């Protein structure tokens, strides 16, 4: 009967299996999105489940790696991973809209102050066949808008005062229709979950890195004195540190991969609702030409907006990692409809 090498521990075998399982939700997330408007809702639901599965597996891999390299960590690492893996998706599902609205300093819109906005959203909701989303306004002169909420029954659309001041009614209707499409197609669930789950992975990775440096000295001594077993521990330590550094980057890149295609589809679906593609195309031109940065935006919420609100993204390298496709590409697609 053959025996396994001493460096093959149960933890390491589980890690290897989980790494293989990580590719299953990854393939779902990176699969080409359907262009059929009526299939988009169910497609985005599947992607939302896949996104949660990906992050849960990633969190468990990080925890098991931490158990391998940190003495005494078994008492805390796995329970901590279970807490993160459970609470992260739950918080993201039930409270992401509230978190994002608070981060954006948004206030509820009133019918007395924003009658046209309310009437337009109500008409578009009827056309889309969904409940009327709640409306919020952000006091900022930079023109922009976003949608959030876990489903159409809890949909939210937020617009800046700059958008209301700088766009005409046709253009505002086009922007609202774009955001309405995100809500109808469950894009908002996917995007909101990404905000919370990427943050969870970043926090866990940061905590692990701080503890890795504290325990690395003892593991290096074990590596010098423990033969092949010690060498294996040293290799696992290096891999664990690399994984802790790369995990937030992988999470961010995954968020970008599932974001760009959804913007193009929401443009098309928004034009389908208004029957006037030029309204949204003209709005995108104005938003792209406006150089004023959105003060309340940050890198965790930037992908939710109709155009990237962070003006420092204009460089070639940043465009490569942008959450949005080229505005020129979007305008050209709308004008060709």
Report whether 52 contacts 193 (CB < 8 A): yes
Cα separation, 76 vs 300, whole angstroms = 28
- pLDDT, mean of residues 219-247: 61
The conformation of residue 42, written as its DSSP 8-state character, comes to H
Helix, strand, coil distribution of the chain in percent, nearest 5? 70, 5, 25
- pLDDT, mean of residues 294-309: 81
Confidence grade of residue 215 (pLDDT, cut at 50, 70, 90): low
Question: Is the pTM higher than 0.75?
Answer: no
173 catalytic per annotation? no
User: What pLDDT, on the 0 to 100 scale, is given for residue 155?
Assistant: 92
Cα separation, 258 vs 304, whole angstroms = 12
Domain boundaries, the chain: 10-95+188-246, 102-187+261-335
* Ranges 32-36, 121-125, 308-312, 315-319: which has the least confidence: 315-319
Superfamily (CATH) of domain 102-187+261-335 = Metalloproteases ("zincins"), catalytic domain (3.30.2010.10)
Q: Is 136 helix (H, G, I), strand (E, B) or coil?
A: strand
- pLDDT, mean of residues 169-196: 86
User: What pLDDT, on the 0 to 100 scale, is given for residue 304?
Assistant: 82
User: What pLDDT, on the 0 to 100 scale, is given for residue 217?
Assistant: 53
Asked if pLDDT for residue 95 goes beyond 60, the answer is yes
- pLDDT, mean of residues 149-173: 93
Q: Order of strands across the sheet with 156-160?
A: 106-108, 134-138, 156-160, 145-148
Pairing relation of β-strands 145-148 and 134-138?
Answer: unpaired
Confidence grade of residue 130 (pLDDT, cut at 50, 70, 90): very high
Q: Can you say how many angstroms the Cα of residue 51 is from the centroid of all Cα atoms in its chain?
A: 9
Q: What percent of the chain has pLDDT over 90?
A: 26
The residues facing 135 across adjacent strands are 157
Cα separation, 197 vs 193, whole angstroms = 6
**Active site residue: 67, 171, 179, 263, which one?**
179
Report whether 106 contacts 138 (CB < 8 A): yes
Confidence grade of residue 318 (pLDDT, cut at 50, 70, 90): very low
């Amino acid at each position: 009967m053959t025996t396994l090498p001493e460096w093959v521990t149960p933890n390491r075998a589980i890690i290897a299996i989980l790494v293989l399982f990580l590719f299953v939700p990854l393939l779902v997330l990176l699969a080409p999105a359907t262009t059929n408007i009526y299939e988009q809702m169910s497609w985005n639901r599947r992607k939302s489940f896949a996104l949660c599965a990906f992050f849960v597996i990633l969190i468990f891999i990080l925890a098991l790696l931490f158990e391998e390299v940190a003495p005494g960590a078994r008492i805390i690492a796995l329970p901590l991973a279970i807490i993160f893996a459970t609470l992260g998706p739950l918080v993201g599902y039930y409270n992401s809209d509230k978190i994002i609205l608070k981060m954006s300093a948004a206030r509820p819109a009133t019918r007395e102050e924003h009658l046209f906005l309310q009437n337009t959203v109500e008409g578009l909701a009827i056309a889309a066949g969904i409940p009327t989303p709640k409306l919020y306004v952000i006091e900022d002169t930079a023109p922009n808008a976003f949608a959030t909420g876990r489903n159409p029954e809890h949909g939210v659309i937020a617009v800046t005062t700059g958008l209301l001041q700088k766009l005409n009614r046709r253009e505002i209707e086009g922007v609202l229709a774009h955001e309405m499409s995100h809500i109808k197609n469950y894009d908002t669930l996917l995007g909101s979950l990404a905000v919370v789950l990427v943050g969870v992975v970043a926090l866990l990775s940061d905590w692990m890195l701080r503890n890795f440096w504290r325990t690395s000295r003892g593991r290096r001594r074990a590596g010098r004195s423990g033969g092949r077993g010690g060498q294996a521990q040293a290799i696992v330590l290096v891999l664990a540190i690399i994984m802790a550094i790369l995990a937030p980057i992988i999470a961010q890149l995954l968020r970008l991969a599932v974001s760009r295609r959804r913007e193009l589809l929401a443009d098309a679906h928004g034009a389908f609702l208004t029957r006037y593609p030029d309204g949204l195309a003209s709005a995108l031109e104005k938003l792209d030409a406006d150089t004023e940065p959105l003060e309340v935006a940050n890198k965790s919420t930037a992908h939710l907006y109709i155009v990237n609100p962070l003006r420092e993204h204009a460089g070639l390298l940043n465009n490569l990692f942008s959450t949005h496709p080229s505005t020129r590409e979007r305008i050209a697609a709308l004008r060709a409809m």
